[in-house]
Amino acid sequence: MPESAPQTISQAEVRQLYQRFQRVALVSTASHLTTFSREELDNVVKLLSEDEVQQLKRQVRRAALLSNLSTVSRFEASPLPPLGEGSEKPSPKDIRQAFRKAVLTSSANVFREQQAAVIRKAVNILNVEIDNLSMQEFLGKLKQGVVVTPNVDHLMKLQHDQAFVAAYQQADYRVCDSQVLLYAAKFLGDPIKAKISGSDLFPKFCEYHAENEDIKIFLMGGAEGIAARARRRINQRIGREIIIEDLSPSFGFEKNPRECLEIVTRIRQSSANVLVVGVGAPKQEIWITKHRHMLSNIDIFMAVGAAIDFEAGNKPRSPEWMSYLGIEWIHRLLSEPKRLWKRYLIEDMPFFVLLFKQKVRKILASS
């Protein structure tokens, strides 16, 4: 029969636990937790059972690891009683409970930050932070917020369009819309897990929430009748009315305050909690940012570009092999040469020069 676990732990283990505890407390700006001397903490810890000690050690390790010793900046646990002379020292039980609360609160702060997309790893390309997530990870995280889908054209517009920059700064998620950006991230030494284009995200989001009756979408974009056609096709494919209302705004609607107010009113009067906008960048991102505060019923805002046209069958998507190779833009250029030639052949070409400069700066900074 194996020996039972000892009721005390070694001095080395106590010291290790104390060091981890001290680091978490420091990062949490909980300076009052570091007022104990090592001997006082040693005596308290020795009163704990081995199981309790191991549990605390796991919590401390997890909190320190997840926070990366930098993101836990808020601390909400009540401070311990002072240990100075003339004051009543807290009992071992009080210290143990306060310690556990400190660790759990630190962990909770980390998880809240994680939910707010603060600690997830992002990749910087031309000063734009792009979230490094797979499609499945992103769909699992997406509960609320504004989603934008950066591609090469977006990144080039962001070099000079301040209204677009402001919209991007207020976005909660920036997911990679381009195979070219995947190659760019790899070239910079920070690979991105997956391409999550607006045209892929929109249908995947609908499929992911096919049986979630709480998700109701308002679809806005496309020429007259396009959003209605996309709505019918998606609802038929999903098997329920996941898109409850659609709207194709007039050309130049974003410059008409009256029409914008009518659109906002219509969205607010619907039972939708997701707004999908596909009117082209930067128009869609700027419109969402400008009117987001007026749409309290909407939890998720998605700017999806040409996705509505694709879903309606109004425009053909490129073959998968072209998308995989990063030459989907060639297919789009050939499909709409008059509209897109300037974008792809003139406006977006400096991207590669700027990318090379970023790579050089990164090499010089690390040398």
Co-location of 111 and 136 in the same domain:
no
Report residue 77's pLDDT band, with 50, 70 and 90 as the boundaries: very low
What is the C-alpha to C-alpha distance for residues 32 and 79, in angstroms, rounded to an integer?
6
Write the Ramachandran bin of 116: left for phi over 0, alpha for psi from -120 to 50, otherwise beta.
Answer: alpha
**Considering 63, 87, 115, which residue would you say is the last residue of a domain?**
115
**Across 61-65, 108-112, 274-278, which has the greatest mean pLDDT?**
274-278
Give the residue-averaged pLDDT of 4-33.
55
Distances (CA, A) of 206 to 87, 119, 318, 341, 345: 61, 27, 21, 32, 34
DSSP code string of 251-292:
TTGGG-HHHHHHHHHHHHHS--SEEEEES-TTHHHHHHHHHG
Report residue 75's pLDDT band, with 50, 70 and 90 as the boundaries: very low
Question: 9-23, 80-94, 172-186, 260-274 — which is least confidently predicted?
Answer: 80-94
Report residue 60's pLDDT band, with 50, 70 and 90 as the boundaries: low
pLDDT for 367: 80
Question: 103-107, 135-139, 199-203, 244-248 — which is least confidently predicted?
Answer: 103-107
Q: Give the residue with greater pLDDT, 86 vs 241.
A: 241
* Predicted confidence (pLDDT) at residue 173 exceeds the cutoff of 80: yes
Domain that residue 205 falls in: 125-353
Residue count (the chain): 367
Pairing mode, strands 274-278 and 128-131 = unpaired
Partners of residue 175 on adjacent β-strands: 131
**Nearest in space to 79 (alpha carbons), one of 125, 28, 128:** 28
Q: Say how many domains are in the chain.
A: 2
pLDDT for 164: 97
Co-location of 233 and 196 in the same domain:
yes
Give the residue-averaged pLDDT of 120-137.
92
Inside any domain, residue 365: no
Report residue 2's pLDDT band, with 50, 70 and 90 as the boundaries: very low
Q: Give the residue with greater pLDDT, 213 vs 89.
A: 213
pLDDT for 233: 98
Co-location of 213 and 279 in the same domain:
yes
**Considering 64, 82, 115, which residue would you say is the last residue of a domain?**
115
Inside any domain, residue 367: no
Inside any domain, residue 4: no
pTM for the complete prediction?
0.68
Cis peptide before 257 (omega within 30 of 0): no
Given CA atoms 89, 94, 95, 99 in this order, what sign does their dihedral have? negative
Co-location of 175 and 88 in the same domain:
no
**Considering 115, 133, 150, which residue would you say is the last residue of a domain?**
115
pLDDT for 83: 45
Co-location of 246 and 305 in the same domain:
yes
Co-location of 176 and 245 in the same domain:
yes
Co-location of 129 and 111 in the same domain:
no
pLDDT for 328: 85
pLDDT for 59: 64
| CA 29 centroid distance within chain | 25
What type of residue sits at position 363? I
Co-location of 183 and 304 in the same domain:
yes
Give the residue-averaged pLDDT of 22-30.
51
pLDDT for 56: 64
Q: What average pLDDT does the structure give for the chain?
A: 82
268-324 per-position pLDDT tens digit? 999 999 999 999 999 999 999 999 999 999 999 999 999 999 999 998 887 888 877
